[in-house]
Amino acid sequence: MGKETKDHQQAVDPDEMDAASYGDASRNYWQLQDDALARVKSSHSSWTQQRRLQSAKIKGAQTWKRVSFSLPRSEAQKKAREFLEKYPKAAYWSEVESWRELPGDVIEFTMRRLPSAN
């Protein structure tokens, strides 16, 4: 038909890619992942600060101990399990207070617990 332009590129079969092209694609992918995680971490502190200000307005909010995290999904699950093992729900009323999913399969969440088991 007509000439192929730069705007219209054919899909490349991974088996046909040379090692250099494959390496470049792999580096680009991981660079994008690193950039996304850096953006998440930079926005995390402002989000955490807003949550703490909101919580401070609620009566009795000073009694809770809170910890916030921004982690990839699998690490977030492990961290939540570790927290709940260290501070059991029955003794500390521990729970995931809030969470949200961010780009790059990153989970931002806040765990809360009572300061001591009474």
Instruction: Mark 91-116 as b/e (b = at least 16 C-beta within 10 Å).
Output: ebebbebbeeebeeebbbbbbbbeee
User: Taking a C-beta distance cutoff of 8 angstroms, is the pair 73, 80 a contact?
Assistant: no
| CA neighbor of 94 nearest in space, from 85, 106, 107 | 85
For residues 43-48, average pLDDT: 76
Residue 34 — very low, low, confident or very high, per pLDDT cuts 50/70/90? confident
Asked whether the CA dihedral 26, 28, 29, 35 is positive or negative, the reply is positive
Contacts with 14 (C-beta within 8 Å, 6 or more apart), sequence order: 22
Determine the pLDDT at residue 7: 45
CB-based contact 31:23 (threshold 8 Å): no
**What are the tens digits of pLDDT across the range 70-118?**
999 999 999 999 999 999 999 999 999 999 999 989 999 999 999 887 7
Domain ranges, ordered by start, for the chain: 19-113
CB contact at 8 A, 19 and 81: no
* Share above pLDDT 70 across residues of the chain, in percent, rounded to a whole number: 77
DSSP strands (E only) in 1-118: 65-72, 95-102, 106-113
Q: What is the mean pLDDT of residues 18-28?
A: 77
